[in-house]
């Protein structure tokens, strides 16, 4: 347990030294919020940006880090310590969760206190949707890390999956403004359901569907990553 | 007490044998050298000792355990330095030592290890910014921070300058005085002569000869370990050519 706490603290520290992760998970969402603050309904952006922050971290930052650990034999070195290399993957997941919460807290704080957005109507369903979204994007990230042969390809695959997800899924821009075909495509993306779940929790009526989709995708991706992951 | 017992170890990659029937034992407190040409099977052999590779056949016992099955339990008592491995580029030297110290039940004081290995002046440097020799020194310190009973060091002084190499010899000498068993893979015969009680000369996946540096020199009718090594490896190569 002590080893895992140290590993997690270390992963978090390393993540906070990554300028790309810092910018895209903290500064960039805040920038978008400020740019959209003239909108009549600022509240619609908060659930979206939470999903966007999580997706950037889990789907595009995480696979690059994990694949680099494999390529540079960091995992192999850890395999000859009393700590299992899987602990490093768990620590990376935990660090992503903390980083995601930090980025979300800043955006939500500025929205609620700076732009007078009403606090969430259904905090518990919102929290559940958030937790499931966080687990799901990291599970997707681990599948990418498992499939990519090299660190560079993991980074590329991550970006190629993350960008369509946040734009078509309503995380970067609201889906209401998308053309009909693109909006329909978005329905097949798991992140869309995360945004729906988060919105429902904030200002809508929570329904079971988004939770089931997020949980299902998380389970399937975790199983796939566990089956496909190569340690070296 | 026998710490390492390897019997008829075999390991092939894609049908090509890398280790082809290797047997040896290492006693407690002994410093055992592994030398041999590039591709002789040294790394493959020592990676079987620490459970990173699973033998195709033969038996490997280390501290009474079977490495391929009990890798993590074994790792609590064995420190390893791999021929090729890195740390996260943005991890700092002191952070790495502190982190690795947290992995073990009864670790050494990581600050003392930092000083002992001359890493004090670069404690705040990121791994990615270290020179090759500095990286190597940090890897050695990480292998020892858990206060292991056995250390397995694969090319421990490759990339070190002559002064750093001699400093490392002194530190390994200290380990030996403290009763730590060591397996050292090296390409420097001078180093094997200075540190090792016995040396195994690997050639083409087998052990061509094993003995004290003096025995090997006498057996080959040469004056030094270096000469003995050249004679043994060359004769193994001639056999292959035939
Ligand atoms: N992962 C691998 N896949 C395929 N072949 C391998 C692998 N690892 C080693 N080999 C082959 O096995 C043989 C023995 O390799 P090994 O790394 O054990 O040699 P070594 O004695 O440590 O050499 P060096 O002095 O160059 O480090 C070599 O021919 C090498 O090409
Ligand atoms: Mg080698």
Write the DSSP string, B103-165: TSSS---HHHHHHHTT-GGGTTSBGGGS-HHHHHHHHHHHHHTT--SEEEEESTTTT--HHHH
Measured between beta carbons, the chain A residues lying within 8 angstroms of B78 are: 80
Closest CA in chain B for residue A16: B90
Q: Give residue B97's pLDDT.
A: 98
Identify which of B14, B43, B154, B186 to mutate to test ligand 1's pocket (most ligand atoms within 8 A of the CB). B43
More confident: A232 or A86 = A86
Domain-located, residue B170? no
Q: What is the mean pLDDT of chain A?
A: 96
Whether B23 has a pLDDT exceeding 90, the answer reads yes
- Ranges of beta strands (E only) in B14-76 are 16-27, 31-36, 57-62
Structure tokens at B205: 């996946």
Whether A88 has a pLDDT exceeding 90, the answer reads yes
Q: Reduce the DSSP state of residue B10 to 3 states and report it.
A: strand
User: Residue B99 and residue B8: Cα distance in Å, rounded?
Assistant: 37
> What is the extent of the structural domain holding B91?
86-148
Alpha carbon distances (Å) from B141 to A77, A189, B105, B132, B210: 13, 48, 17, 14, 29
Domain-located, residue B183? no
pLDDT-above-90 percentage for chain A = 96
**Digit-coded pLDDT (tens) for A66-76:** 999 999 999 99
Whether A36 has a pLDDT exceeding 80, the answer reads yes
Whether B35 has a pLDDT exceeding 80, the answer reads yes
Whether B77 has a pLDDT exceeding 80, the answer reads yes
Based on the number of CB atoms within 10 Å of its own CB, is B144 exposed (0-12), middle (13-18) or buried (19 or more)?
buried
Q: Across the interface, do B85 and A6 touch by the CB < 8 Å criterion? A: no
Q: Which residues contact A21 (CB under 8 A, 6 or more apart)?
A: A15, A57, A61, A99
Specify which residues B81 forms β-bridges with. Answer: B153
The crossing angle, in degrees rounded to 10, of helices A45-55 and A123-147 is 30
Mean pLDDT value of segment B138-163: 95
Query: Residue B242 Cα, ligand 2 centroid: separation in angstroms?
Result: 26
The CA-based dihedral angle spanning residues A189, A192, A193, A197, taken in that order and rounded to the nearest 10 degrees: 170
Q: Give residue A29's pLDDT.
A: 96
Q: What are the φ/ψ torsions at residue B160 (nearest 5 degrees)? A: -90, 145
Predicted complex ipTM: 0.93
Q: Give residue A84's pLDDT.
A: 86
Mean pLDDT value of segment A5-18: 97
Cβ–Cβ < 8 Å for B68, B232: no
Q: Give residue B182's pLDDT.
A: 97
Q: Order of strands across the sheet with B57-62?
A: B16-27, B2-13, B57-62
Ligand 1 binding pocket, CB closer than 6 Å? B 13, 18, 36, 38-44, 83
**Digit-coded pLDDT (tens) for B200-211:** 999 999 999 999
Closest CA in chain B for residue A84: B72
Mean pLDDT value of segment B159-186: 92
Whether B241 has a pLDDT exceeding 80, the answer reads no
**Digit-coded pLDDT (tens) for A145-173:** 999 999 999 999 999 999 999 999 999 99
Q: Give residue B223's pLDDT.
A: 85
Mean pLDDT value of segment B116-134: 95
Number of domains in chain B: 1
- Ranges of each domain in chain A: 2-228
Domain-located, residue B128? yes
Do you know the residue count of chain B? 242
Give the model's confidence band at A219: pLDDT under 50 very low, under 70 low, under 90 confident, else very high. very high
Q: Give residue A164's pLDDT.
A: 96
Of B52, B99, B104, the CB nearest to A79: B52
H or E element, residue A224: helix A208-228
Mean pLDDT value of segment A189-202: 98
To which residue do tokens 């047997």 refer? B23
Q: Give residue B60's pLDDT.
A: 98
Using DSSP bridges, classify how beta strands B198-203 and B31-36 pair: parallel, antiparallel or unpaired: parallel
Q: Which of A61-75, B87-101, B153-167, B186-200 has the lowest mean pLDDT?
A: B153-167
């Amino acid at each position: 347990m002590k080893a895992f706490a140290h590993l997690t603290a270390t992963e978090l520290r390393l993540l906070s030294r990554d300028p790309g992760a810092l910018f895209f998970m903290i500064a960039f969402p805040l920038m978008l919020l400020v740019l959209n603050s003239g909108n009549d309904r600022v509240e619609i952006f908060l659930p979206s940006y939470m999903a966007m922050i999580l997706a950037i971290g889990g789907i595009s930052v995480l696979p690059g880090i994990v694949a680099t650990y494999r390529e540079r034999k960091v995992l192999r070195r850890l395999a000859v310590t009393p700590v299992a290399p899987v602990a490093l993957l768990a620590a990376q997941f935990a660090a992503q969760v903390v980083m995601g919460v930090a980025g979300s807290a800043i955006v939500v704080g500025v929205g609620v206190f700076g732009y007078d957005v009403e606090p969430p109507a259904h905090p518990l369903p919102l929290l559940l949707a958030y937790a499931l979204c966080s687990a799901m994007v990291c599970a997707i990230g681990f599948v990418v890390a498992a499939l990519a042969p090299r660190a560079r390809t993991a980074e590329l695959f991550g970006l190629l999956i993350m960008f369509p997800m946040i734009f078509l899924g309503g995380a970067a821009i609201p889906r209401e403004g998308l053309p009909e075909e693109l909006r329909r495509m978005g329905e097949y993306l798991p992140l869309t359901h995360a945004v729906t779940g988060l919105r429902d929790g904030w200002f809508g009526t929570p329904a079971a569907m988004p939770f089931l989709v997020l949980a299902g995708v998380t389970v399937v991706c975790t199983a796939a990553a566990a089956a496909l992951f190569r340690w070296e | 007490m026998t710490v390492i017992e390897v019997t008829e170890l075999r390991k092939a990659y894609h049908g090509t044998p890398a280790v082809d029937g290797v047997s040896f034992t290492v006693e407690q407190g002994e410093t055992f050298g592994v030398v041999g040409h590039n591709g002789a099977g040294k790394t493959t052999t020592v990676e079987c000792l620490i459970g990173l590779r699973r033998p195709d056949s033969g038996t490997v016992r280390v501290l009474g355990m079977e490495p391929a099955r009990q890798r993590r339990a074994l790792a609590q008592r064995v420190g390893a330095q791999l021929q090729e491995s890195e740390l996260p580029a943005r991890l700092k030297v002191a952070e790495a030592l502190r982190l690795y110290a947290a992995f073990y039940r009864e670790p050494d004081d990581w600050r003392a290890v930092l000083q002992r290995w001359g890493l004090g002046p670069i404690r705040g440097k990121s791994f990615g910014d270290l020179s090759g020799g500095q990286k190597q020194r940090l890897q050695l310190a990480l292998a020892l921070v858990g206060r292991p009973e056995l250390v397995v060091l694969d090319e421990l002084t490759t990339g070190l300058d002559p002064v750093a190499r001699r400093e490392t010899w002194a530190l390994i000498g200290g380990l030996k005085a403290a009763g730590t068993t060591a397996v050292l893979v090296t390409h420097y015969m001078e180093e094997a002569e200075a540190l090792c009680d016995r040396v195994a000369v690997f050639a083409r996946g087998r052990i061509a000869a094993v003995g004290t540096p003096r025995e090997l020199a006498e057996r080959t009718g040469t004056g030094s370990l270096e000469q003995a090594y050249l004679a043994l490896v060359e004769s193994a190569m001639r056999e292959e050519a035939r």
